[in-house]
Amino acid sequence: MKFGVILFPGSNCEHDCYYAATKISGEKAAVIWSGAADLPADFQDPQGANCLIIPGGFSYGDYLRCGAIARFAPIMNKVRDYAERGGRVIGICNGFQILVEAGLLPGVLHRNRDLNFICQDIFLKVENRKTIFTQKVSKDVLRVPIAHGEGNYYCDDAALEKLEKNGQIVFRYCDAAGNVSPESNPNGSRHNIAGLCNAQGNVLGMMPHPERCAEAALGNTDGRMIFESIIAAVKEKVAA
């Protein structure tokens, strides 16, 4: 299969994602410039052996609001069409913010509760292990790093009820034992939400960085299961 990593001015995790997709996962990948008018030929069929990654960073310097300018990049029209036709998309950190701003995921991401940039390992409770992005996750709790200043997820009551009912909340911040509580919430995110998917299940946004904990040399391989899940889901779909 092939991953496509969307590169914006100010992205800084595209190489990490490219490395996780190729050197660690053993698959192919291409970096796609945000100013491109269209996706490469490999991604013209959203149901094919492919997946787009929107990486972390500070797209367009986070001016106005994180992801607010990136949503207008030429390539985002094609990403939106790709997703709406069933293509797989994962947005990590700033990528999550961009997906929200682009309307591909509900809600909004505010400044962290304490108004500080947070860079540390946190724990994630895996709430839904039946998604494209989690089907190969073998643990109930993952340890994954975060690095963000605007990860405080919010949505209104109606949207929250829908997310809960549909099983769209994929990850919540928790402690090492899997307990979800205000104390285990690093940024004030509503209901400890750390990652969620769209109603169709083909678009995931998450604030933590799985690409930064995907190999033994880093002392943690929990993030690798996210990439393995995507690869397995794609190959099963293509084989069918």
196-215 residues labelled b (16+ CB within 10 A) or e (exposed): bbbeebbbbbbbbbbbbbbb
Q: What angle do CA 69, 72, 78 make, to 5 degrees?
A: 140
Catalytic annotation present for 93: yes
With CA atoms as reference, report the closest residue to 43 among 33, 25, 30: 30
What is the DSSP secondary structure assignment for residue 59, as one 8-state letter? G
Instruction: Let me know how long the chain is.
Output: 240
Q: Which of 14, 101, 150, 211 is catalytic?
A: 211
Catalytic-role residue among 93, 155, 174, 213: 93
In whole angstroms, give the CA distance from residue 99 to residue 109.
Answer: 11
In 3D, which of 236, 234, 240, 235 has the Cα closest to residue 52? 234
Q: What are phi and psi of 214, to 5 degrees?
A: -120, 5
- Residue carrying the six token digits 């969620």: 196
Contact 123, 176 (CB under 8 A): yes
Which residue is catalytic, options 66, 148, 209, 213? 209
CA distance 3 to 1: 7
Residues classed as catalytic: 93, 209, 211
